[in-house]
Structure 1
Amino acid sequence: MDNTTYTCPSDYTPLSTSKPAEKPANSTVINMGPNAKPPKDYLIWSLCNTLYVNFCCLGFFALVYSVKARDQKVLGDLRAARDYSNKAKWYNILASGWNIIIPLLIIVLFVTGIVHLANVRGSYDFFGDEGYDNFMRLFRR
């Protein structure tokens, strides 16, 4: 709009008066309490769980909810960010639990298998005097 052709309407209201505004005699102050802390997004934890083992895609689900929590935090929707953050935390807990339990289970099974094979006599006597020969005999015909 060009300023030269614009005319002010006759019934306009000015935004400010020429007199300085007076302070009101009575004022009310409402303390709303401290601002709520924004929720954590657990992004680093989710990345670690995604890259390590990632049993049943739990780490990936945690990563998705972490990114959603971060997006909602940036947008200012703290309630949705808190919900996504809570889901990301629980998926991370599940993924971390599986990431610890599965390798421990494999180690325990391996050790019990070795102990069992060490105590068995006969065709599976891998750890006896002729252990290597007994082991290789299983694969020969």
Structure 2
Amino acid sequence: MIKEEPGTVPMASTVISIGSETPVRDYVVWSLFNTVFMNVCCLGFIAYAYSVKSRDRKIVGDMTGAQAHASTAKCLNICALVFGGLTTIICIIVLTTYKGF
């Protein structure tokens, strides 16, 4: 324990706690890309709808809701990208191996 000398003033300190909230990504651009180019079973459009919902929740201040909608949009975007890529690859394989032309 530190002893203070008589006649001295103890030092005061102020601690400012700044909340480090991680920004919630809404995946609107990725969803728009999947809507325009890889809209297999309308997954891109549904992902776009969830992305817009996530952005709306973020503007209102509901970060939990925004994160939930963003997570759903991310999963739908991944599915749309995988299914769209597989469909494109299968079409290329079928068209290049088909000897009927």
Q: Which of 38, 48, 60 is residue 45 of structure 2 equivalent to?
A: 60
Q: How does 1:65-76 map to 2 (within 5 A)?
A: 65-76=50-61
Secondary structure of the corresponding residue to residue 98 of structure 2: helix
Task: Give RMSD over aligned pairs.
Answer: 2.1
8 A contact 2:35–2:43 mirrored in 1 = yes
Whether 2:87 is the aligned partner of 1:102: answer yes
- Counterpart mapping for 1:40-59 below 5 A: 40-59=25-44
Greater RCO, 1 or 2 (C-alpha within 8 Å, sep 6+): 2
Aligned counterparts of 1:66 and 1:53: Cα–Cα separation in 2: 16
Q: Which one has the largest radius of gyration?
A: 1
Note the alpha carbon deviations across 1:80-107, whole angstroms, 9 max, x for none.
0000000000100011112211111011
Task: State the aligned residue count.
Answer: 90
TM-score by length of 1: 0.57
The gaps in structure 1 that reach 5 residues or longer are: 1-25, 118-125, 127-141
Distance apart, 1:113 and its partner CA: 1.7
Matches within 5 A, 1:1-141: 31=17, 34-114=19-99
Under a length normalisation based on structure 2, what TM-score does the superposition of the two structures give? 0.78
C-alpha displacement of 1:53: 3.6
Q: Identity percentage over the alignment?
A: 41
Structure with more of its chain in helix, by fraction: 2
Using the alignment, how far apart are the partners of 1:43 and 1:83 within structure 2?
A: 14
Cα deviation per residue 1:16-74 (whole Å; 9 max; x = unaligned)?
A: xxxxxxxxxx998584x642112100001101111114111100110000000000000
Distance 1:105 1:60 in 2: 22
**Unaligned residue ranges in structure 2 (runs of 5+):** 1-11
CA distance in structure 2 between the aligned counterparts of 1:58 and 1:36, rounded to whole angstroms: 30
CA distance in structure 2 between the aligned counterparts of 1:53 and 1:96, rounded to whole angstroms: 6
